[in-house]
Structure 1
Amino acid sequence: MIQETPGTPKDERASHGIPFGEAVRVWVRVALYSFGGPAGQIAVMHRLLVEEKRWVSEDRFLHAMNYCMLLPGPEAQQLATYVGWLLHRTKGGLVAGGLFILPGFVSILVLSVLYAAFQETTLVQALFYGLKPAVLAVVVEAVVRIGRRALKNGVMVGLAALAFVAIFFLDVPFPVIVLGAGLVGFLGSRFREDLFLVIRGAEAKEGDSDSFATDGLVEATRPPIAQTVRTAGVWLFVWLAPLAVMAAVLGTSNVFVQEGLFFSKAAVVTFGGAYAVLAYIAQQAVDTYGWLRPGEMLDGLGMAETTPGPLVQVVQFVGFMGAYRFASGLDPVVAGVIGSVVTTWVTFAPCFLWIFLGAPYIEYLRGRKALTSALSAITAAVVGVILNLAVWFALHTLFGEVDEVVWNGVRLFRPVWASVDPAAVVIAVLSAVALFRFKVGMIQTLGLSAAAGIVYYWTFLA
Structure 2
Amino acid sequence: MPVSLWELVLYFLRLGSSGFGGPIALAGYMQRDLMPRKWITEDEYREGLAFSQMMPGPLAAQLAMWIGFLRHGVVGASLVGIVFILPTFLIVVVISYLYVAYHGLSVVQALFYGIGPAIIAIVALSAFRLARTTVGSDRRLWAIFGVVALATVAARTEIALLFVAAGLVGVLLYAPAGSWTKPWSTVSSLFSVPAALGIPVSIPVLLELGTFFTKAGAFTFGSGLAIVPFLHEGVVLHYHWLNEREFLDAVAVGIITPGPVVITAAFVGYLVAGFWGALVAAAGVFLPVYCFVLFVGRYIIRYREKPAVKGFVKGATSAASGAIAGAAVILGEGSIIDPATAIIGLASVLVLWRFKIPEPLLIAIAAVAGVMLYKC
Asked if Structure 1 and Structure 2 have the same fold, meaning a TM-score greater than 0.5 normalized by the shorter chain, the answer is: yes
What amino acid sits opposite 1:271 in the alignment? F
Greater alpha carbon shift after TM alignment, 288-297 vs 19-28: 19-28
Does the 8 Å contact 1:74/1:274 carry over to 2?
A: yes
| 1:110 and 2:94 matched | yes
| 1:283 and 2:233 matched | yes
Greater alpha carbon shift after TM alignment, 121-130 vs 297-306: 121-130
Q: Equivalent residue for 1:436? A: 353
Does the 8 Å contact 2:304/2:310 carry over to 1?
A: no
| 1:298 and 2:298 matched | no
Deviation by residue 1:80-137 (Cα, 9 ceiling, x = unmatched): 1001111111121112211221111111111111111111102211221221111111
Q: Equivalents in 2 of 1:68, 1:147: separation in Å? A: 17
How much does 1:300 deviate? 0.8
Deviation by residue 1:126-179 (Cα, 9 ceiling, x = unmatched): 221221111111112212211211222111111101111222214675321111
Secondary structure at the aligned position of 2:44 is classed as helix
How much does 1:366 deviate? 4.7
How much does 1:396 deviate? 0.9
CA RMSD of aligned residues (A): 2.6
| 1:57 and 2:41 matched | yes
Does the 8 Å contact 2:118/2:362 carry over to 1?
A: yes
Greater alpha carbon shift after TM alignment, 135-144 vs 52-61: 52-61
Deviation by residue 1:291-315 (Cα, 9 ceiling, x = unmatched): 1011111101111101012111112
| 1:387 and 2:304 matched | no
**Which of these two proteins has the greater Rg computed from alpha carbons?**
1
Q: Equivalents in 1 of 2:303, 2:51: separation in Å? A: 10
Secondary structure at the aligned position of 2:104 is classed as coil
Q: Equivalents in 1 of 2:53, 2:312: separation in Å? A: 11
Does the 8 Å contact 1:263/1:347 carry over to 2?
A: yes
- CA 1:105/1:184 → structure 2, altered by over 3 Å: closer, same or farther? same
Q: Equivalent residue for 1:12? A: none
Which of 346, 355, 364 is the equivalent residue of 1:447?
Answer: 364
Does the 8 Å contact 1:33/1:41 carry over to 2?
A: no
Q: Equivalents in 1 of 2:304, 2:317: separation in Å? A: 19
Which of 343, 350, 354 is the equivalent residue of 2:292?
Answer: 354
| 1:268 and 2:218 matched | yes
Q: Equivalents in 1 of 2:269, 2:223: separation in Å? A: 19
Greater alpha carbon shift after TM alignment, 168-177 vs 148-157: 168-177
Does the 8 Å contact 1:186/1:373 carry over to 2?
A: yes
Q: Equivalents in 2 of 1:447, 1:56: separation in Å? A: 36
Does the 8 Å contact 1:285/1:291 carry over to 2?
A: yes
Structure 1: gaps (5+ residues): 3-16, 194-231, 324-335, 400-420
Q: Equivalent residue for 2:145? A: 160
Q: Equivalents in 2 of 1:268, 1:20: separation in Å? A: 28
Secondary structure at the aligned position of 1:295 is classed as helix
Secondary structure at the aligned position of 1:440 is classed as coil
Which of 155, 162, 187 is the equivalent residue of 1:177?
Answer: 162
What amino acid sits opposite 2:243 in the alignment? R
Structure 2: gaps (5+ residues): 179-191
Secondary structure at the aligned position of 1:292 is classed as coil
Does the 8 Å contact 1:294/1:396 carry over to 2?
A: yes
How much does 1:437 deviate? 1.3
Does the 8 Å contact 1:275/1:389 carry over to 2?
A: no
How much does 1:70 deviate? 2.4
Aligned counterparts, 1:85-96, within 5 A: 85-96=69-80
Q: Percent identity, aligned pairs only?
A: 30
| 1:126 and 2:43 matched | no
How much does 1:192 deviate? 10
Which of 4, 7, 25 is the equivalent residue of 1:40?
Answer: 25
Which of 31, 40, 50 is the equivalent residue of 1:66?
Answer: 50
Matched length:
363
Secondary structure at the aligned position of 2:240 is classed as coil
Deviation by residue 1:242-271 (Cα, 9 ceiling, x = unmatched): x99xx7xxxx43222222222233232122
Q: Equivalents in 1 of 2:367, 2:157: separation in Å? A: 35
How much does 1:188 deviate? 1.6
Secondary structure at the aligned position of 2:295 is classed as helix
Q: Equivalents in 2 of 1:192, 1:154: separation in Å? A: 22
How much does 1:286 deviate? 1.8
Deviation by residue 1:401-460 (Cα, 9 ceiling, x = unmatched): xxxxxxxxxxxxxxxxxxxx1111111111112111122221221111112212223xx4
How much does 1:68 deviate? 1.7
Q: Equivalent residue for 1:6? A: none
Does the 8 Å contact 1:315/1:343 carry over to 2?
A: yes
The structure carrying a bigger helix percent of its residues is 2
Deviation by residue 1:10-45 (Cα, 9 ceiling, x = unmatched): xxxxxxx22222222222232123211112111111
- CA 1:172/1:443 → structure 2, altered by over 3 Å: closer, same or farther? closer
Does the 8 Å contact 2:144/2:318 carry over to 1?
A: yes
Does the 8 Å contact 2:157/2:233 carry over to 1?
A: no
How much does 1:184 deviate? 1.2
Q: TM-score, normalised by structure 1?
A: 0.73
- CA 1:170/1:122 → structure 2, altered by over 3 Å: closer, same or farther? closer
Secondary structure at the aligned position of 1:308 is classed as coil
Q: Equivalents in 1 of 2:278, 2:139: separation in Å? A: 42
Does the 8 Å contact 2:114/2:366 carry over to 1?
A: yes
